[in-house]
Chain A
Amino acid sequence: MGPHGTWFDFIPGLDGLKTTMQGPLGRTWTWQVFQATHFEISHVIIAVLVVLLIALGAAAYAASVSKLGDEAILPPAKLGTRAVFEGLADMVYGVLEGVMGAKNARKFLPFLGTFFIFILFSNLISLVPGFRAPTDTLKTNAGLALVIFLATHILGFKEHGVHYLEQFTGHLPLKSPLVVLVPLMFVIEVISHLIRPVTLSIRLMANMFADHAVVSVFFALVPFLVPVPLMLLGVFVSVVQALVFTLMSATYISLAVAHEEH
């Protein structure tokens, strides 16, 4: 079990599964940041584990709320599963409300809150020794960012119809002499839209990878007590990066669905 080993290395048969999956799923091409790498499935398994843990937590939450009946509108008295999930939802709602207003925040809380909770718990699980974050690789993050990218444009088209395309030309009226700038504006806007999922995914990957690397270096130096402050920093980085991902997605979506005021 090397520096990149996980507890899953001890599960028998996993190596065989990895070798089997490498055939149809392995990547042989290289392009830009996608350089030659060794085939790995541990981040997928940990992502599945994170989803299972969140599902268990959600089930516990639902059970505790339905048991209380009408008293569920009261905030929980002591810290438990319910307090954690309600606190997280409240925090995400507060942040979304600041970015996109109360109406849109209510509408997009389930969508963006899911991203927040998945990314937060994926980040936090890497602080348990012997686990790695599913979000410290570009494969997971590119998938997440791609969903945000598609959702942004689908929601934009749903909200504005064909007029959504006006956002790419700077809303210039046809009579204005500035209309000659439209091709330039269009190219710049398209590039800036295409770069968004790239920066979203690379930001998360770089931060989580750097955090994990710092902690593992200090673990290699002194494996007792010394890494603890760095792991505290890791908790902070995990929360902030999950928040940044959610916040940037909320900004992009609110820009796409916003109505231009004249």
Chain B
Amino acid sequence: MSRIFKLVPAAFTGALLFLASSAAFAADGSGGGSREMGLAIGAGLAVGLAALGGGLGQGRSASAALEGIARNPQASGKIFTPMIIALALTESLVLLGFLIANGLSGKIGG
């Protein structure tokens, strides 16, 4: 877990570098104004970060449920339903990210 969190600053630095380089490219290139570029990057980041966080969260809840089942296999029926509810509630936040991304990408070229 901690190894994953060590990667987060690196990922942000990478994303910033990517943004800076694409901004430099956009300054050279013609067409596709910076508004469109911002919308596109924002849409990608919204759903990407939502999926990142949702994936981490769902992995944690699934691993906890599997540990519980491994310790007490007879409880698997009782663990399954709350696990599905937890996974679905985590997933709804990812879906909100998807909703934002969808709204943003609908504005591109509009």
Contact = CB atoms under 8 A, between A and B. Distances in A.
A203 B91 contact: yes
A198 B106 CA distance: 18
A35 B104 CA distance: 11
Contacts of A32: 99, 102-103, 106
Given A199-B92, A244-B84, A247-B85, A206 B98 contact: yes
User: How many B residues are at the interface, by size bracket?
Assistant: 10 to 19
Contacts of B92: 195, 199, 203
A95 B106 contact: no
Interface in A34-52: 35
A247 B86 CA distance: 11
A145 to B, nearest CB: 12
B13 interface: no
A203 B99 contact: no
Contact of A251 (B77, B78, B85, B96): B85
A28 interface: no
B95 interface: yes
B90 to A, nearest CB: 11
A252 to B, nearest CB: 11
Interface in B7-60: none
15 contacts: A32-B99, A33-B99, A99-B81, A195-B96, A199-B95, A202-B95, A203-B88, A203-B92, A206-B95, A206-B98, A240-B84, A243-B84, A244-B88, A247-B84, A248-B85
Interface of B: 77-78, 81-82, 84-85, 88, 91-92, 95-96, 98-99, 102-103, 106
